[in-house]
Amino acid sequence: MCSEDVRLNASNTVGTPAPGTLLVDTSRNNRVGEFRGAAGLYWSLRPVGGGRGWEVEPRNVRPALPIERLRARANARSRGEVL
C-alpha cells in the first residue's frame, strides 16, 4: 500500500514526500493526488487510481487528512480505477 502520511525515504531531500504519498492540491479545489516526484520547481501529482497527472508548486500542497485519503480511494474504486 502507498504511504499514508507525508514522510521521507532515504533518497528524498528534506521536505519532499515519499512517492505514493497522498497530498491535497489547494490550488485546484482541494484535489487529492498521489505524489510522483519532483520536476524542477514543481511536484508531479496524479489522481488516485491512475490517470493524467499534473504539476503543482509545493507551497500549494498539504498532506491529505485521513478522511480525504479514504474518500479519494473510495471514489477511485467506485469508478473502477482501483480494485
Cell numbers that stand for 72 in this block: 479519494
pLDDT digits (tens, 9 = 90+) for 18-61: 999 999 999 999 999 999 999 899 999 999 988 999 999 999 99
pLDDT at residue 13 greater than cutoff 90? no
Whole-structure pTM over 0.85, yes or no?
no
Residue, of 13 and 58, whose pLDDT is higher? 58
17 CB neighbour count, 10 Å cutoff: 23
d(CA 60, CA 28): 9
Under the banding of pLDDT at 50, 70 and 90, the label for residue 73 is: very high
CA 1 to chain centre: 13
